[in-house]
Amino acid sequence: MAHHGFDKLKFTGQYFRTSMKPLTRLTRVNARCLRLKLLLKPVAERSQLMDQCLSPERIHQAFLTCIFSTQSYLFKDELENLHQEKLLKRHSLLTRLHSFIDSTRILNVGGRLANSPVLYYQRHPVIFHGESPLAKLTVDWAHRIALHGGFQLTYSYAVRRAWIIRGRVLVKAHIRDCFVRTRIRLQKSAQLMGNLPSERVTVSFPFEKTGVDYARPLAIKWTV
């Protein structure tokens, strides 16, 4: 799968921030932008293709376009070193990830799972910078898919989509700022109870004063 038009599409962080809060909206808008190249085709073929709905392949292609532009902006030096087959600098964030560039020019995590039967992007997930807007959109998408769940559930969904550098910190910060999650964590107010009757607070012999609680079931233990 080749990335058509990557050299012409120069997305910045401001592009991802402007009215592109959900990740699904970003990918679908980007997919429609990539369909503009269909205008170069003949009229009959063009009208037929433009009337078709966005396929999952086109949406995935648009997502890869966003990944490529983000990595080109935030990992510029690392990409140049990998293209020239040079070693990464010691302070680079990609040193421990054994990163490599695949056939689609996307930066992926290396490792020892090449012979694993799982999907390719699970063996070698794409790499996101923790400060990139695309990483924040991915965490927001994972939190929505997890139905505003806790840290473990949200983080598991996020790493299925991409490997985010300092992703744990980003997920915890997102959950802490989630309005829905905050409302769920609110503690219900407890009603203050009335004063105890004098029979219960006055010292007396056993069974001198007895009573029955009609507010709830009374458990009785029978003995022989």
pLDDT band at 199 (very low <50, low <70, confident <90, very high): confident
The mean pLDDT of 107-135, rounded to a whole number, is 86
| The one-letter amino acid at 16 | F
Is the pLDDT at 86 greater than 80? The verdict is: yes
Kindly list the domain boundaries of the chain, sorted by start residue: 13-183
Cβ neighbours for 115, distance < 8 A, ≥ 6 positions apart: none
Q: From residue 38, how far is each of 41, 61, 68 by CA, in Å?
A: 5, 15, 21
What does the pLDDT read at residue 8?
A: 38
The least confident of 66-80, 186-200, 208-222 is: 208-222
| Average pLDDT across the chain, whole number | 79
pLDDT at 104 over 50: yes
Distance CA 11, CA 124 (A): 24
Q: Note the pTM of the prediction, 2 decimals.
A: 0.66
Across 41-67, average pLDDT: 75
